[in-house]
Every structure is written in C-alpha cells, then in structure tokens.
Chain A
Amino acid sequence: MQGDLQSEVMVRVRFSETDPVGVVWHGNYVKYLEDAREEFGRQWGLSYRYISESGYYAPVFDMHIRFDRSARVDQWLKVVCRYHPSKGAKLCFDYTVSDALDGTLIATAETVQLFTTKDGVFEPSAPAFFQEWKRKMECPEEDG
C-alpha cells in the first residue's frame, strides 16, 4: 500500500494570488501544498482533525520549494502530495506542482512536520495513533 500513498488536488490560479508581474506570488505555493496535504489527510485517514482528536498537532518544521516555471492567473495546476516514509515522529511529504493540462513541471517541494501535544509540548517519540497509522499503511521505517 505504501507505494500508493499520495493525493492530488486541482487548483485554478486566482487573480488575487498573482503579483504585479502577473505570476503566482511565491508565498501562495505554500497554500497549494497545504491544500494537497489536507486532501492526503482526508483520503488516507490522517486528517488534521484526526490528529487533533488524538491529542496532537503537527506543525510544519521544515519546508523547501524549488520553482521551475511561473504559473499565471486562470491556469489549472495539479498539486500532488506524496507521503515519504521516515523514521520516528515526523511526517514527511514530497510535492509536485504541474500544469494540469500539459503536465509541465512548475515547482517541487518537501515538507517535514513534527508533533506537539495540544499544550504545545514537543513530542520526539512517535505518538501511538501515528504508529498505528503507519502499521495500517504498511509504511517502512526509511531514512529521511
């Protein structure tokens, strides 16, 4: 099952997301990634609501985005979010943002989320709900 752990969303670039040059302002890609990650959570049983109901939050600790091309208003984008198996108490995802019509690559990204309790205390050990999710998803404990 692990090889299929990905989700995708379609995003149509809104005028308000572009900058004076007419391309998507780079900060808006963070929201596109979040959209795809939220969809992943809904599809694969790891939604923010479920994480919260399990007693934890999963804030983003690290993020990298590489921009290969610009996107423009009204363009349809396909944002794919893939779970990257990793050791311990962290959620790692890889992303691609591409033109939904011709597949042209626009950006790639990676995020790492760690866990805190709902009191804001950092949790370095994988919470039970997350271990159970990884068991269900048959996720190997890979580096990363």
Chain B
Amino acid sequence: MDREELIQKINTALAEEFEIDQSVITPDADIKETLELDSLSLVDLVALIENDFGVKIKGSEMAGVRTFAALYDYVAERTQ
C-alpha cells in the first residue's frame, strides 16, 4: 500500500467511525478538534488504528500525534 492509499484508507475509516464528512479531514487539521475527541472516543480512535492497520500505539506517543499528517506518518512508519 502506498502513502496515498494509506491516507485514503485512514480517512475512510475515520469518517465512518466518527460519522463525519471526509472533506473536513485535512493534513494540518487538529485531530481532537476535528473529530471532537474526548477520552472515550480517543480510545475508539486508537482501537481503530490498531485493529485496521495492525499498529500498536503507545499512549505516551499518542500525545505527540496532533494532526492528521502526524497520524499518517505514525501509521506509515510502522506499517512499512
């Protein structure tokens, strides 16, 4: 899977899980603000990434993943 395919797959999964329009997902957008995440929905986001992409996310690292671009990088680096 190349980067564009990965991004599209992540965006599709997020839009479905959080019932939002994919158009609001832009690389520089803040994940928490865009998806209106609280602690519970952050757990759902992490579970989605772990289950759909086989990437184990460390809680301590998630704090540094603030934008969608950072999330794409995080997943891409661990699925290569």
Contact = CB atoms under 8 A, between A and B. Distances in A.
Interface stretch (B5-13, B22-30, B38-46): B38-46
A126 to B, nearest CB: 7
A88 B59 contact: no
Contacts of B3: none
Contacts of A112: 40
Given A112-B40, A123-B59, A89 B46 contact: yes
A97 to B, nearest CB: 24
Contacts of A87: 43-44, 47-48, 51
Contact of A88 (B44, B60, B62): B44
Interface in B37-70: 39-40, 42-48, 50-51, 56-60, 62
A62 B40 CA distance: 9
Specify the main secondary structure of chain B where it touches its partner. Answer: helix
B47 A126 contact: yes
B39 A125 contact: no
Interface string A100-144: 000000000000101001000111111000000000000001000
Interface residues of B, number: 17
Interface string A30-63: 0000000000000000000000000000000110
B46 A125 contact: yes
A122 B51 contact: no
A82 interface: no
Contacts of A126: 47, 50
- 5 closest A-B pairs by CB: A88-B47, A87-B47, A123-B59, A124-B46, A88-B43
